[in-house]
Structure 1
Amino acid sequence: MRAAAIQMNSTADRDRNLTVADRLVRAAARDGATLVALPEKWSVLGTAEQLAAGAEPLDGPAISWARATARELGIDLVAGSIAERVEGREKGLNTSVHVGPDGELRAVYRKIHLFDVEVAGTAYRESDGEDAGEEIVTSTLADGTELGLAICYDLRFPELFRILALRGARVVTLPSAFTLATTRDHWEVLLRARAIENQSFLVAPNQIGVHGDGNRSGGRSMIVDPWGLVLALAPDAEGHVIADLDLARQADVRTRLPSLANRRPRAYAWPAAERHEAAA
């Protein structure tokens, strides 16, 4: 399987972003990619007000384009994430969509972990404008390979990636808009750790550059293999990186170093459960 991660400098201009995404996805497909992933908020990225104004339902222009393009090119397309608007909800959702080669929606994942942090003196409050998702989601690629879906800040929560692996995910996509500071210091370390821990491929498209809110993303989109080796690394510009995912080698790694099989679930207990049992 050949996978591609698309790196973009998205803005508040949806038409501009769609044009760039279309060009880069087509370039990846010409290079032989059958799985292509876009970054977080690829369709609209900017201030909270711009995100709210650019939010759209799953039948809006961004996902409609993704469905038509995946069908035309015959690829599995993870349409990064978009700011999703849902009728009846006060806040939006940060939503990643897997579209199959037939143009049909295969899976929809809403970001579980919201980015409410302070980094390099800048406060981020994703929960001010968006609700957290509640469901861990896997999907199936056209060739039958199980796919796990995650978004950006989710990378810091190993529980999610372990559950995806235990549900059969062999490849995980991580559309991101990692900040410049955290990309420089944490991005590669965390990606390689999640890949090694779960013996999974990670396809991690990231945003690059300054966005409409003045915040900066760090680029360095990556594809990492189950041994933790970086198969592809993007330069600091819009574009795509591509790599072949050797599923047979992954199976060999999982056989020779069977850390997933050697787990002992009955020996594990969450601290909260232990406290509850002690109190009882």
Structure 2
Amino acid sequence: MKLAALQMVSTPDVGRNLEAAARLIAEAAAQGATLASLPEYFCLMGQDDRDKLRIAEADGHGPIQDFLADAAKRHGLWLIGGTLPIRSADGHRVRNACCVYGPDGQRAARYDKLHLFAFDNGKEHYDEAVALEPGEAPVAVQAGPLRVGLSVCYDLRFPELYRAMSFEDGQGPCDVISVPAAFTYTTGRAHWELLLRTRAVENQCYVLAAAQGGQHENGRRTWGHSMVIDPWGEILSVVEEGEGIAIAEFNPARMAQVRVQLPALGHRRL
């Protein structure tokens, strides 16, 4: 089985972004991917945070959700649809929703980003809470033979989320952790690889991290470095900047070997 992280440099134009996503999904399928992920905000990197409200969809249907469902079915793969804005109950903000579609085109899971990013170093300022409403619970989905834990970008800084998605529902540890993201260049350069490899090592699973990566039309620069990482923390594939695909084999024997040789998950006390 192959895992593919699709890296984009999304624009303020939804149509152009869907075209780019379609091209990458097709390329990943041609390379044999069985599970592919788009990055956070794959459908829109707007001029303003509140641009998300303009394209927000009702839960279950809309041009972006229909695109994802059709792409998964057309190429016969599991597709983690990065994130898209889904209307919240109050109508004033949106949920940053990660929707997963099976090879039959049916939605298998929806996870709403729990942790909302805020950053201010005097030069750059971000506050996702202006337009986003946080989610409420961790989500893991059975994608064929793989148990996949869902997270988004800033969630990466909260290790308790990954423990919860693996153990709170009694289903056991995840095989893959997915982290679609749009890390800023500043924070990504400092922490992206460090955090991803840490999550892989402490959860002894594969990490599939699809990122935005480059200079965007809205002036923002994202870090990129989409990766597939194995349970020992080894980077198997990476795309540093620009559009591209990081793809690598999921090896269950490798994961089992790591967990047997260093049975840290069985040694948990909390």
Q: Would you say same fold, with TM above 0.5?
A: yes
Aligned to 2:154: 153
1:193 maps to 2:194: no
Q: In structure 1, how many angstroms separate the alpha carbons of the residues matched to 2:258 and 2:128?
A: 37
Most deviating of 182-191 and 31-40: 182-191
Conserved? CA contact 2:173–2:203, under 8 Å: no
Q: In structure 2, how many angstroms separate the alpha carbons of the residues matched to 1:120 and 1:199?
A: 37
Deviations 1:204-232 (A, max 9, x none): 00001233442210111011110000011
1:211 to 188, 207, 216: 216
Q: Structure 1 residues 120, 169: CA separation in 2 closer, same or farther (over 3 Å shift)? A: farther
Instruction: Look up the equivalent residue of 1:146 and give its one-letter code.
Output: R
Q: In structure 2, how many angstroms separate the alpha carbons of the residues matched to 1:181 and 1:88?
A: 33
Conserved? CA contact 2:5–2:246, under 8 Å: yes
Secondary structure of 2:99's aligned partner: strand
Q: Structure 1 residues 239, 120: CA separation in 2 closer, same or farther (over 3 Å shift)? A: farther
Secondary structure of 2:66's aligned partner: helix
What is the Cα deviation at residue 163 of structure 1? 1.9
1:93 to 95, 112, 116: 95
Instruction: Look up the equivalent residue of 2:14 and give its one-letter code.
Output: R
**Paired residues for 1:26-41 under 5 Å:** 26-41=26-41
What is the Cα deviation at residue 51 of structure 1? 2.0
Aligned to 1:255: 260
Aligned to 2:240: 235
Q: In structure 2, how many angstroms separate the alpha carbons of the residues matched to 1:241 and 1:193?
A: 19
Secondary structure of 2:266's aligned partner: coil
Q: In structure 2, how many angstroms separate the alpha carbons of the residues matched to 1:49 and 1:91?
A: 8
Which structure 2 residue ranges, 5 or more long, are not aligned? none
Deviations 1:60-115 (A, max 9, x none): 11110110111111100000011222454321011101101111111000000000
Greater C-alpha radius of gyration: 1
Q: Calculate the TM-score normalised by the size of structure 1.
A: 0.91
Q: Which runs of 4+ in 1 moved over 4 A?
A: none
Conserved? CA contact 1:165–1:200, under 8 Å: no
Most deviating of 1-10 and 46-55: 46-55
Q: Calculate the TM-score normalised by the size of structure 2.
A: 0.94
Instruction: Look up the equivalent residue of 1:42 and give its one-letter code.
Output: F
Q: Percent identity?
A: 41
Secondary structure of 2:72's aligned partner: helix
Instruction: Look up the equivalent residue of 1:72 and give its one-letter code.
Output: R
Q: In structure 1, how many angstroms separate the alpha carbons of the residues matched to 2:123 and 2:166?
A: 35
Conserved? CA contact 1:12–1:51, under 8 Å: no
Aligned length: 264
Instruction: Look up the equivalent residue of 1:82 and give its one-letter code.
Output: L
Aligned CA-pair RMSD:
1.3
**Paired residues for 1:83-232 under 5 Å:** 83-86=85-88, 88-119=90-121, 121-142=123-144, 144-166=145-167, 167-232=172-237
Secondary structure of 2:258's aligned partner: helix
